[in-house]
Amino acid sequence: MTGDNVYGDDELAALYDLVYSDYDHDLDLYAGFARRGETPSLELCVGSGRVALHLARAGLRVVGIDASRPMLARLQAALDERTAPNIRLVEGDVRAVDLGERFDMVYCALDSFEQMLTPDDAAATLRCVARHLAPGGAFVAELRTLRSVDWSGEPSPLRHEWTRAGADGSTVSKFSSMRASLASQTTTTALIFDRVPAGGGPVHRRAFDVTLRVFTRAEVELLLRAAGLRLAHVYGDAGLSPFTDDSDTMIIVAEGEGS
Ligand SMILES: C[S@@+](CC[C@H](N)C(=O)[O-])C[C@H]1O[C@@H](n2cnc3c(N)ncnc32)[C@H](O)[C@@H]1O
């Protein structure tokens, strides 16, 4: 978000779940770090709860912050007897929130931190991390690497990614094209979703762009330091493999400077 919120209405929030509901590569990563702590974990940009619900089902407690009411409403609606006692939700902007509490793990999953398009946004979010991190606690986040992006400047051809059944029985097809800008260190993905209602009828099209920042390792290290945090480890994937020249993602683990 932090410019236009691409998760700001019910239809967009539902499309998010249709796209990401089967993303599970990182669930064990965050559960593993959460188990090391004694306090609840704090998830920045919790969205509709893809990760938070996994932790709550495992008996781990989570406080989730998000700026999108529709995304939080979906998470609230997904809670049941087992998970509801383990999840507390806060509507707010992760650049500014101050809960007055400290957590053994603060995390920001998937591409959520990459929504911080300017150095000021990223710095403000990391200051939020610093004021919520308990002594000895860890901040964990996933970021793409420079290597993972095609920097040629040409938009990739519009591609049909999949066709899936929507929750209401409709059929949804996803198309996307990405272009990267080296000057702004961003990628912008043009997304098109075509929905055919159950039983046929006119196609409803929803089209929008998602712009995300690509951070370098050194930049992250400096941003963390400016916020009073220290980069403790960088891994190459959610399985904590070594970070190498061939890594498409960085899993960063940061600690408070005094830790
Ligand atoms: C990619 S989605 C959620 C991803 C979720 N962490 C996951 O792993 O499935 C990104 C979320 O970030 C939220 N968001 C963006 N900017 C924000 C901000 N400045 N403060 C709080 N939430 C924000 C959006 O509302 C959206 O729900």
Is residue 4, in this structure, part of any structural domain at all? no
| Ligand 1 pocket residue status of 20, Cβ below 6 Å | yes
> pLDDT digit string (tens) for 154-198?
999 999 999 999 888 899 999 999 999 999 999 999 999 999 999
Contacts of 8 (CB under 8 A, 6+ apart): 1, 68, 70
The answer on 136 and 31 residing in a single domain is yes
Of all protein residues, the one whose alpha carbon is nearest to atom 25 of ligand 1 is 68
> pLDDT digit string (tens) for 30-47?
999 999 989 999 999 999
The answer on 252 and 206 residing in a single domain is no
**pLDDT, position 238:** 98
| Ligand 1 pocket residue status of 83, Cβ below 6 Å | no
Domain ranges, residue 130 = 10-146+215-256
Candidate of 25, 29, 41, 45 to mutate for ligand 1, largest count of ligand atoms within 8 Å of Cβ: 45
The residues with which 172 forms a beta bridge, in sequence order, are 164, 195
Atom of ligand 1 nearest to the CA of 110: 8
| Ligand 1 pocket residue status of 125, Cβ below 6 Å | no
| Ligand 1 pocket residue status of 234, Cβ below 6 Å | no
**pLDDT, position 205:** 95
| Ligand 1 pocket residue status of 55, Cβ below 6 Å | no
Atom of ligand 1 nearest to the CA of 71: 27
Nearest to 51 by CA among 126, 114, 106: 106
Q: Which stretches does DSSP call E strand in 36-170? A: 41-44, 62-66, 87-91, 103-108, 133-144, 159-165
The answer on 237 and 168 residing in a single domain is no
The answer on 186 and 226 residing in a single domain is no
Q: What is the CATH number of the domain that holds 221?
A: 3.40.50.150
| Ligand 1 pocket residue status of 5, Cβ below 6 Å | yes
The answer on 127 and 248 residing in a single domain is yes
The answer on 240 and 186 residing in a single domain is no
| Ligand 1 pocket residue status of 47, Cβ below 6 Å | yes
**pLDDT, position 199:** 86
The answer on 139 and 22 residing in a single domain is yes
| Ligand 1 pocket residue status of 19, Cβ below 6 Å | no
| Ligand 1 pocket residue status of 93, Cβ below 6 Å | yes
Is residue 153, in this structure, part of any structural domain at all? no
The residues with which 162 forms a beta bridge, in sequence order, are 174
**pLDDT, position 225:** 97
**pLDDT, position 4:** 60
Q: What does the pLDDT profile of the chain (259 residues) look like in tens digits?
A: 455 677 889 999 999 999 998 899 999 999 999 999 899 999 999 999 999 999 999 999 999 999 999 999 999 999 999 999 999 999 999 999 999 999 999 999 999 999 999 999 999 999 999 999 999 999 999 999 999 999 998 999 999 999 999 888 899 999 999 999 999 999 999 999 999 999 888 999 999 999 999 999 999 999 999 999 999 999 999 999 999 999 999 999 999 987 6
H-helix or E-strand containing 172? Answer: strand 171-181
The answer on 54 and 34 residing in a single domain is yes
The answer on 220 and 178 residing in a single domain is no
Is residue 37, in this structure, part of any structural domain at all? yes
Is residue 5, in this structure, part of any structural domain at all? no
| Ligand 1 pocket residue status of 2, Cβ below 6 Å | yes
Is residue 178, in this structure, part of any structural domain at all? yes
Atom of ligand 1 nearest to the CA of 47: 27
The answer on 209 and 173 residing in a single domain is yes
The number of domains in the chain is 2
User: Ligand 1 centre from 80 Cα, in Å?
Assistant: 22
The answer on 129 and 15 residing in a single domain is yes
Q: What is the CATH number of the domain that holds 163?
A: 2.20.25
